[in-house]
Structure 1
Amino acid sequence: MAEKLTSQEVSFLMQALKEVEMFTFLTVAEMDTLIGQMHKVVIPKGKVIFSEGDEGTAMFIVFKGRVQIALKKWFGRKHEITQLKPGEIFGEMSLATFRPRMASAVALEKSECFVLFKSSFQFAIANNPAFIVHLKELIDRRGLENRKI
């Protein structure tokens, strides 16, 4: 069972979700349901959160610390895509598309993240046809954008 979140954490998560295009079609009640399914984890500096090619089983919201998102390049070198700071979300597209992770995530410093697992995500959106249509359109558009890179 997830530990009860503080009112500050709930406000933080509500704001973070509102900033993500994927969640703009959710009602406040649906966001509350999602937030109620999240729990906080502490990730040590240097810990690999997930690797490129892994199954997308969860999405994350950075609460404290910094997380690097990177791609593997030839000869095992990493190419940093971005560094995420508090309020930023990662792993959501793999969670929504059921495709393997397209990049790796590593904690650059001791970090705290909120985690939402795939089963909770699916349960929360199951009864929202508008969200499902919006999500499909977003996935299709991002797929086209990624092919241009």
Structure 2
Amino acid sequence: MLLIEKVLILRSSDIFQNTPEQELVGLAGILEEMYLEPEENLFSKGDKGTCMYFIYKGQVRIHDGNYTLAVLEDNDIVGELSVLDSESRSASATTIDETILLKLEQEPFYEIMMNNVEVLKGILNTLCRRLRIMDDKSVSFHNKTLPAVPTV
């Protein structure tokens, strides 16, 4: 993959859309390309995480056992929580189809984040959006499982 393609992928993500071009070029140069087959495990719940991934092409299912939490696609990011805190992965990630990922390790991400407040804003916006989606799913699930309370 050409360097310019990696820069364009980064630019298309919410996290890096306002990052200066020069920083994106440096970051793109250290991204590791990964090619995965369908149904390949990217990481498992409980694994130690120190990186995140950009989905260039394909789909990744985020799941806890058989329960699907999300399906992520082109230009989405995977594993952003672990790149922030190095804690265990909170869910598993498995490819749905042929997938091309760009892997970003924690230390380079921290360097970019420290030098550019827009990156920090981007990661916070992404995390907040995902929390809201999970809240909506939780409320929907909760409403489906509770019996209706009769009114008097």
The reply on whether 1:82 has 2:77 as its aligned counterpart is: no
The reply on whether 1:63 has 2:52 as its aligned counterpart is: no
Partner of 2:107: 119
Q: CA deviation at 1:25?
A: 6.5
| Distance change in 2, residues 1:146/1:54 (3 Å) | farther
Partner of 1:29: 22
The reply on whether 1:110 has 2:98 as its aligned counterpart is: yes
1:55 maps to amino acid: K
SS in 1 for 2:49: coil
Q: For 1:9 and 1:140, locate their aligned partners in 2 and report how far apart those are by CA, in whole Å.
A: 22
Deviation digits for residues 31-54 of structure 1, max 9, x if unmatched?
A: 333222212110121111011111
Moved more, 55-64 or 27-36: 27-36
Partner of 1:75: none
Partners of 1:14 and 1:35 within 8 A in 2: no
**Residue 44 of structure 1: which of 37, 42, 47 is its match?**
37
1:10 maps to amino acid: V
| Distance change in 2, residues 1:92/1:140 (3 Å) | closer
Partner of 2:10: 13
Identity, % of aligned pairs? Answer: 24
Partners of 2:3 and 2:28 within 8 A in 1: no
Q: For 2:91 and 2:11, locate their aligned partners in 1 and report how far apart those are by CA, in whole Å.
A: 26
Q: For 1:127 and 1:37, locate their aligned partners in 2 and report how far apart those are by CA, in whole Å.
A: 17
| Distance change in 2, residues 1:6/1:32 (3 Å) | closer
Give the length in aligned residue pairs. Answer: 136
Deviation digits for residues 91-110 of structure 1, max 9, x if unmatched?
A: 11211122211111001112
Runs ≥4 residues deviating over 6 A? 135-142, 144-147
- Superposed CA RMSD: 3.1
| Distance change in 2, residues 1:109/1:139 (3 Å) | closer
SS in 2 for 1:61: strand
Q: For 2:127 and 2:40, locate their aligned partners in 1 and report how far apart those are by CA, in whole Å.
A: 32
- TM-score normalised to the size of structure 2? 0.69
Q: CA deviation at 1:123?
A: 3.2
Q: For 1:42 and 1:54, locate their aligned partners in 2 and report how far apart those are by CA, in whole Å.
A: 20
